[in-house]
Structure 1
Amino acid sequence: MSGLDEGAFETLVPSRFITFTFPNPFASAADRPRSRHHLHTPLLRVAVLDSPAQPPPDPAVSAAILVPAGRETDWIFSTVSGHLQLLLNSPHISRLILVGNLPSHPHPSPFTRPIPIDSAQLSEFEKGVTPLLLALSPKSAFANGLPEIGFLCYEDDVVRSVIVETCVGGFVGEMLIEDVELEIDGESEFRRRLRFKRMPNLVQTQIRILPGGDTDLGFLVHPYLTPMVAGLKLVSSHLEGRIRAGFKPNALCLGVGGGALLSFLNIQLGFDVTGMEVDEVVVSVARRRFGLPENPFIRVWTGDGIKLIEELAAQPCNSESDGRFDVIMVDLDSNDEGMGTMAPSMEFVQKPVLLAARTLLREPGMLVINVIPPSRSFYEKLVLEFRQVFQELYEIDVGNAENFVLVAVTTPVGMASTESDSAFVTRLKQVISGAYMDCIRKI
C-alpha cells in the first residue's frame, strides 16, 4: 500500500473509490501451476469502495469479494460502476473490498470457467487476507471490538464467453456483444448478450444461439420479457377483435436494446411494432448482431423515448380509432449509476409522461413496464402514479427476486384473465409458457 496515506481508510467517505496493488500473501502457493491456486499473480489488485449512503450503518460493516479467476477484466470487477452495483446489492455494507489477480490488460477478455475453488482454498484465502481487510476497515467498525469481515461470493451461470464486438454509442457509451455458454439445470445453452459499460451487471439483451450459429428470434430467454408478453392476455379480447377486423395489433416499445422483444412480437404474434431507442449505434448492433428484422412492420425511431411520446401525444390522431397503439411496452433502465441497477428511470415515473403514454393508447389499451425497484418506497410511488392515470393495475412477479412486471390498463378488464381462450390467447400459449399468465395479480 505504498503511496497511500496511513489514515486514508480510517473514515468512511461516501462513494470514495480507491484501488491499489498489494503483494500476494499466497506467493508460495501462486508459484504452483495456475490451476492449483486461485490467486496467482505476484501483485494483487485491491479495490475499496465506500457506500454512497448517508449516514452509514452503525457500526460500519466491511465485506470482501474474491474476484473470480479469469474475470479480472470484466467490467463488473474492473470499473467503479461495476463495484458500485455489487455494493448496492448488499445495502447493509458500508465498505466493499475486492481482491483479485492483477489484470494483464485493461479490456474485457474471453473467459472460461476455472476449476471451482474448494472450501480449503477459500478458507486459506479468508485467513490470508483478513489482516489486510482489518487494516482497510474504518475505525467505526471497531466500535464493539474486533469486527467480523463478511465474505461474499459472486456466482453466475456463465461457463465460457467470447467477445464478438465492442463499440461505442453516442449516448450509452461503450458496449460489449458477447457469445456465452450457460449452464442451466445441468444443460448447456448458448446465447448472445449485449452489455453496457455504464451498467456492467445488467444484461441489456440476450437471445438464444442455435447450433449453426443463427439467432433464435422465436424464443424469449431474457427473464422479464416472457412475463411482459404474458400480460397481453388481459386485453386479448380487444386484440382478437382488431385481428378479425383486418388490422394488425400494434405495439410501441420504449427501449430497443438488441431488439429481442420487437422481433418476438412481430414474428410470433403478428404485431406491427414501433421501437424507440435513444442511441442509433444500439439499433445498428440490433440489426447486425441480434437479427432484428428489417421489414415494413418493424420500424425504429431514434431519440429520447420520453420526449418522443410526449411529442407524439401532442399531435392530432389520424389512426382508424382513438389512440395510436394497442400496447405500450417499456424497458428503460436508469442512467444514474449511483442508483445501481434500477428500472424504469425516474424521468418516466412522472404524471405528465404517464398521461402522454395514456393518450397514445386505444380503448382498451395497456401499458406494460419492467420494474427493478431500488427500494420499496420507489415501487409504492410508481404504483401511486399509475393509479392516478390508469383504471386498473396488475402485477406479475418475474420470480428472480429482482424484477416485477407492472401492467396498467385504460379500462377495467374485469374477468378477462379467466375467459375462455380466444384464438389470440391460444396462440400466446403456444409461444410462451402459460405459467406467467396464470399468476397475473390485480393490485
Structure 2
Amino acid sequence: SWLLRYHHIQTSKSFALPVFAFVFTKITMKTPLIEIQLYNNADNNWLRFNDLTEALNAIKQCQMTCFRKYDFKQKFVAGSETPVIDLYAENNQNNRRYQMIVVNSVTKYRNKPFAAFIVPKSRNLDWLYSTPAGRQQIIASAKYTTVAFIYLQSDEEYRDLEQVKSEMTSAVLDFKPVNLSDSLQIPFLSSSEGIGQVVVRERSASFIIEDCLYGSDNEWKRRLRFDSNPNLIQSEINLVSNKTTNDLIPDYSTLENDYHGVIVAGLKTHFLATENAQPTDNWLLIGLGGGVLTMKLIRSFPKAHLTGIDIDSEMVRIAKTWFGLDDTLTTCIVDDG
C-alpha cells in the first residue's frame, strides 16, 4: 500500500472547478493512507482517509461547494440562500468548528450590500435563526442585501466575538458578491448575547446533552439532541438553581414547551369535562426520550399510575441522570413498545 497525497491546486479568481493533483510517494504503508489538502497555503490542513471512496466523496463535496458558491455569487436571486456550509478548524479537520448559511434578502439595499451575523451558541435552533423565514426577518430588520449567518458549535470553545471575526473573515469574503471590492470591510453583526453560552454535560456518538443560557436574565435550559437529527431538540426543560448545592436542576413547575402544554391542557380539559379531574387510571407512555413529558404528566396527574417504556436503556439513564425522572413515581421498562 502507498501513501497518496491530493493537493488542491491554486486557481485564478475566475471560476474553475477545483483540481486535485495526486502524488505517489515512496513511502510504503501497512494499510492505505490517503491525505487530501482542501485549502491552499495550509500545510497542516489535511483530511486523512483509509478508504478511497470516502476520499473521493470529500473531493466531490469540495467541488460541489465551489459550484454552489459560484452560482450564488454570480446572480442575485431574491430570497435565496446557500445550503449549510461546514467549516473546520485548520489544525483539526475532524471537528466542525462553524457552520454558515449565506442568505439574499428579498429586497436590495444599495448602501448596505453585505454583512455577517454571528448567531449565539444557545440560539442555533431558535426559529429566528434555523428557518428561512426567520433569517429573512433578521435581514429585513438589519436592512442588508446579503447576510452570512455564522453558527457556533456547542462543543467548541470561542474566546469572544473578535476571535470569531478573525477566524471567519476569509470564509465570509469567499461569498461576497462579485461586484464588491476585495478590500471590503465586512460588518459583523451580533445580538446582545454575544457568542452565547452552552455547557456540554454529556456527549456520545449518538447524542448530546447541553445546558444553554438564554437572554440576559440568566435563564438556563437543558436539552437533548441526537446526532442523527441535530437540528431537532428531542427534550428540553427549564433549569433552576438548587438552593443547597447551587447546581442547576430541572424545573417542572412550568410548561414552557408548547407541545407538552397542549398535551397536558388537552388531558385536563378532557377529565374536567368528565368530572374526573384527578384520574387514577393506568397510563402507558411509549418512548421516554428525556422523560420531560413523563414528569409533567406525573406532576399534573399525581393519582394516575404511569408506566414509561423505551427500547433504549440509555434513554432511561439519561432521563434519570439529567432530566430528573423520578422512578419512584413511575415505572420504567426497557423494551420495544
The TM-score, its normalising length taken from structure 2, stands at: 0.48
Higher strand share: 2
Higher relative contact order (CA 8 A, sep 6+): 1
The TM-score, its normalising length taken from structure 1, stands at: 0.39
